[in-house]
Amino acid sequence: MKNWKKVLALVLATGMTLSLAACNGGGSTASTAPSDTGSGEGGGSTSGNVSIELWTYPIGQFGDQETLDGIIAAFKEVHPEIDVTIQLLDYTNGDTQVTSAITAGTTPDIIMEGPERLVSNYGANGLMVDLSDLWTEEATADISAVSEAVVNACKGSDGVYYEYPLCMTTHCMAINYEVFEAAGALQYIDEETRTWTTDDFVAAMEAVRDAAAAGTVNVMFPGIIYCGGQGGDQGTRALVNNLYSGTYTNAEHTEYTANSPENVEALTLLKSMVDNGSLTADSSFQAADELQQFANGTAAVTFCWNASNQSQYAEQVQFTPFAMAFPSDDGEPELCGGIYGFGIFDHGDEAKIEAAKEFIRFVCDDAEQGPESVRLSGFFPVRDSFGNVYEGTENEARMSEFQVMMPYLGDYYNVIGGWTEQRTNWYNMLQQIFVSGADIQTAADEFVTASNANI
């Protein structure tokens, strides 16, 4: 385990989110209960069987014991010689549990999450198995047809695949449709493509501001730039980067670029909008707070939206939350995404490694189980051949509006080094600019210097 001290520090501090957890800071309660299907009490294997253990963060219904028991039961029908036990993690204590397991040498065989953990942390520090044999020519072509970004994100800087993906999503924003309609702001959005330009975004937010001042609409804030912590920070990053086609890192993911002329221009525009009241900034808010204001009807937009949040807040909202891509100067948004799949910790036991690979193949690639696994995640398939997995289901209409966003997936830069530290640097920079009135170029330069120092 090379550089194990470094990876422990990284894992402890990691706050990177699943789409829902990233936006609201929440997480399910951790469970250490084994599956009723498979090995018996204590995780031991039956005679002649190979026993493997799966740890999973709450990625949709993969955080539900009963759902996982069903998957394992189906797997056992195909592979009765492999027993699988489960431990459920959450986003409050899960990273600490993994860190403790790394320290004690008791990591599971399989772990489910995203490249930020599996590739950039565990894989980069020599803890994971090379999964290149899962990436067959057929699988690579199928996944590439959806997004090259997914393929690249699952590889380490050494070119080795440390993750095999199941599903993906894009993070977007949303507007209060009725407020925009009453304010005359719908003219500034393309409802079919769910896109808008930077100029249209500015005009729309000013229209909402003016309508609120006139009493035409009942909202307190047109929009809130939340900068009180890491929660949902993919929203503020995407907002800044898209306004003038900036990037967060270079293409090689070797340095941060938030101080580029494009990003500084975007930050300058947002500061002017805060100053004129078409936006507000709040250093006590994280995304969960902003989302609640949106759900309450107090804010007209949210910068932290996805299918999971729509489902979570569905019973609270008394209006139509209309999902939108982030505004961009050229009308071609590049959205932050979430990629979720499996990695295998390297214990040097070839029998367990092969058994773990069989489980991953079944969950991700099986003609029947693969699409069902995606549906259980609540996201979208990384395989083009799976098509629309929600067609004919009760979720077809709800998921279709987010399906529109999938072609807008941008570079998956989350795999850059120093990820944990830069998240703190990012919200501190936003506070300096929007709350303290710091010079924008200076604040952005300081962000880049501090963040690059941790790569």
- pLDDT, one tens digit per residue, over 86-99 is 999 988 789 899 99
Residue 408 lies in a domain: no
- Rounded Cα–Cα distance for residues 387 and 392 (Å): 12
One domain, residues 26 and 128: yes
Contact 77, 37 (CB under 8 A): no
Write the pLDDT tens digit of every residue in 360-383: 999 999 999 999 999 999 999 999
- What lies within 8 Å, CB to CB, of 82 at 6+ separation is 49, 50, 51, 52, 75, 76, 355, 358, 359
Claim to verify: residue 80 and residue 100 sit in the same structural domain: yes
pLDDT score for 44: 43
Question: Any idea what the CATH number is for the domain that residue 326 is in?
Answer: 3.40.190.10
Could you tell me the CA-to-CA distances from 372 to 29, 343, 388, 390, 419 in Å, in that order? 24, 20, 11, 9, 32
Are residues 352 and 341 part of one domain?
yes
323 has pLDDT over 70: yes
CA-based angle 190:196:198, to the nearest 5? 160
pLDDT in tens, 245-276: 999 999 999 999 999 999 999 999 999 999 99
CA separation for the pair 362, 126 (Å, rounded): 26
10 Å Cβ neighbour count for 92?
14
pLDDT in the model for residue 47:
54
| pLDDT, average across residues 204-227 | 98
Pairing label, strands 172-176, 321-324 = antiparallel
- How far apart CA 58 and CA 445 sit, in angstroms, is 36
Residue partners of 185: CB distance under 8 A and separation at least 6:
179, 203, 204, 205, 207, 208, 211
| Sign of the CA dihedral with 209 first, then 278, 319, and 181 last | positive
Q: What is the mean pLDDT of residues 98-103?
A: 95
Provide the mean pLDDT of the chain: 91
Q: Three-state DSSP class for 190?
A: strand
What percent of the chain has pLDDT above 90? 82
Cα distance between residue 400 and residue 296, in whole Å: 24
405 lies in a domain? no
- Answer yes or no: do 132 and 197 share one domain: no
Output the DSSP codes for 99-150.
Answer: HHHHHHT---SEEEE-HHHIIIIIGGGT-B---TTTS-HHHHHHHHTT-HHH
In angstroms, the first-to-last Cα distance of the chain is 19
pLDDT digits 0-9 by tens, 290-319: 999 999 999 999 999 998 889 889 999 999
In a domain, 87, yes or no: yes
Q: Are 121 and 68 in contact (CB under 8 A)?
A: no
Determine which of 76-80, 208-212, 262-266, 419-423 has the lowest per-residue pLDDT on average: 419-423
Residue 292 three-state SS: helix
Return all residues near 427 (Cβ < 8 A) that are at least 6 apart: 227, 228, 229, 230, 233, 236
pLDDT digits (tens, 9 = 90+) for 127-140: 999 999 999 999 99
pLDDT in tens, 12-70: 444 444 434 444 433 333 443 444 433 333 334 445 799 999 999 999 899 999 999 99
Q: Assess if residue 411 is contained within a domain.
A: no
pLDDT at 91: 82
The boundaries of the domain holding residue 311 are: 172-334+418-452
DSSP string for residues in 216-251: SS--SBS-EEE-SSSTTHHHHHHHHHHHTT--SB-T
- pLDDT higher than 80, residue 155: yes
- In terms of domains, do 157 and 271 share one? no
Residues 274 and 311 in one domain: yes
Do 300 and 364 have their domain in common?
Answer: no
In the three-class reduction of DSSP (H, G, I as helix; E, B as strand; rest coil), residue 287 is classed as helix
For the CA atoms of 134, 137, 143, 145, the dihedral, rounded to the nearest 10 degrees, stands at 180
Q: Do 226 and 355 share a structural domain?
A: no
- What pLDDT, on a 0 to 100 scale, did the predictor assign at position 344? 99
The DSSP code sequence of 28-89 is PPPB-PPPSSSS-GGGPPPTT-EEEEEEE---GGGG-HHHHHHHHHHHHHH-TTEEEEEEE-
Residues 26 and 73 in one domain: yes
Q: Given pLDDT bands bounded at 50, 70 and 90, which one contains residue 324?
A: very high
- Which one, of 5, 13, 52, 25, lies nearest residue 288 by Cα? 25
Assess contact for 69 and 32: CB atoms under 8 A: no
Model pLDDT, residue 25: 39
- Indicate the number of domains in the chain: 2
Q: What is the reported pLDDT for 92?
A: 74
Whether 413 maps to a domain, the answer reads no
Alpha carbon distance 27, 380 (integer Å): 21
Burial of 437 (0-12, 13-18, 19+ CB in 10 A): exposed
316 shares its domain with 342: no
Which pLDDT does position 299 carry in this prediction?
Answer: 99
Same domain, 19 and 103: yes
User: Which among 420, 412, 414 has a CA at the least distance from the CA of 451?
Assistant: 420
412 in any annotated domain: no
